[in-house]
Structure 1
């Protein structure tokens, strides 16, 4: 799983470059060993800031934030993962 909180610690705003770097390194290491990564974008790790702001998934407002997170992941990792 890719942690939404590692990529966007506050759930929104600018992506955390260190978080993106972490997953780029992990994905590259897996590929170097002949392992094709299959990722999950959400596995119960909603950033706490979004839980506090919107009451989490109870609000449809969180969908726009998830879309931004997913798009960021697709752009950064999509060429190397399933």
Structure 2
């Protein structure tokens, strides 16, 4: 599934990689965090994946209402389409 995160490197350095993830990162919409989406989709292409990609909205900035969550889905889909071949 497609979701992004913003890692707080200073916090990660303090708590370590084995800490609960929300102690050192914040979930974000695709394109608003640190995931290299070009590389991600390149690997999917290289291995021949042609299945679905589900968008997961966990970004707290979009939790306020149904309208905000729908906006998050539209924004995410618009961003991710640049990596999906036409007809895909």
Question: TM bucket by the smaller chain?
Answer: 0.5 to 0.7
User: Which structure has the larger Rg over C-alpha atoms?
Assistant: 2
Give unmatched runs, 5+ long, in structure 2.
6-26
Provide the secondary structure at the position in 2 that maps to 1:24: helix
Are 2:25 and 1:25 aligned? no
Could you report, residue by residue, the CA deviation over 1:22-64 in whole angstroms, capped at 9, with x for unpaired residues? 422322321xxxx24212223xx3214246x42xxx5222111
Structure with greater contact order relative to length (CA < 8 Å, sep ≥ 6):
1
- Specify which structure has the higher proportion of strand: 2
Q: Where do 4+ consecutive residues of structure 1 move more than 6 Å?
A: none
Q: Indicate the RMSD between aligned Cα atoms, in angstroms.
A: 3.1
Give me the TM-score of the superposition, normalised by structure 1.
0.53
Q: Give the structure-2-normalised TM-score.
A: 0.51
Cα distance in 2 for residues equivalent to 1:80 and 1:17: 25
The size of the alignment, in residue pairs, is: 67
Q: If each structure's helix is expressed as a fraction of its own residues, which one has the higher value?
A: 1
